[in-house]
A and B are shown apart, each in its own frame.
Chain A
Amino acid sequence: GAVVSQHPSWVICKSGTSVKIECRSLDFQATTMFWYRQFPKQSLMLMATSNEGSKATYEQGVEKDKFLINHASLTLSTLTVTSAHPEDSSFYICSASTGTMGTQYFGPGTRLLVL
């Protein structure tokens, strides 16, 4: 149980294009989803927290107009990297939780390469 999937697993795009990453909780309802970014050999940095049906809460320094997050249902959250640039190349990982105190279950991650 508690499986979280991400799609795509990796994506290569041209600079200036937008990329959408999906995060799904497959066997539970996730009231809260989190999006992280991880650069090579570095730790996971929380980008934003989203509750189903509410606007996402972004961490300091994360541009909400560049990283659009939608949490439209209890099983799906999407992260759209708008006008991607090479510096956005990273490993993006989502996690899902059944509540504010629940364990976070992580997706397998999406590796983004912007050329």
Chain B
Amino acid sequence: GQSLEQPSEVTAVEGAIVQINCTYQTSGFYGLSWYQQHDGGAPTFLSYNALDGLEETGRFSSFLSRSDSYGYLLLQELQMKDSASYFCAVRDRGTGFQKLVFGTGTRLLVSP
């Protein structure tokens, strides 16, 4: 089976930098994705890492180390609107389809 572990909650202030870690155990690994979900809303795609290293998209960056089965999402210049839940997800092939297995989720609280 697969498992992805994340811290349950992270708090930070506006303008700060925060890192959300994700460790995973899975077979047939094809990449690590990150999603943001505001309360009551649907997940929105943030980033995807197929290879080791850092991917930068504006204020958000994502890192992957396949040898360590580890990745993180880095959020810079935090804004109040960044308060949300963040999920890492593994693209894992199963029964011929590209399934997403989601992590436990990290609730980010940004305060003034």
Contacts and interface: CB of A to CB of B under 8 A. Distances in A.
B5 to A, nearest CB: 11
Interface residues of A, number: 26
Given A43-B87, A43-B103, A43-B104, A100 B42 contact: no
A43 B102 contact: yes
A51 to B, nearest CB: 7
Interface string B81-112: 00000010000000111111111110100000
Interface stretch (A14-22, A73-81, A101-109): A101-109
Interface residues of B, number: 20
B42 A49 contact: no
A99 B87 CA distance: 22
Contacts of A46: 99-102
Contacts of B102: 43-46
Contacts of A25: none
B105 A42 contact: yes
Contact of B97 (A45, A51, A93, A111): A51
Interface string A64-106: 0000000000000000000000000000010101011111111
A51 B100 CA distance: 15
Interface of A: 32, 34, 41-46, 49, 51, 57, 93, 95, 97, 99-109, 111
Interface of B: 40-45, 48, 87, 95-105, 107
6 contacts: A42-B105, A46-B99, A57-B95, A93-B43, A95-B100, A102-B98
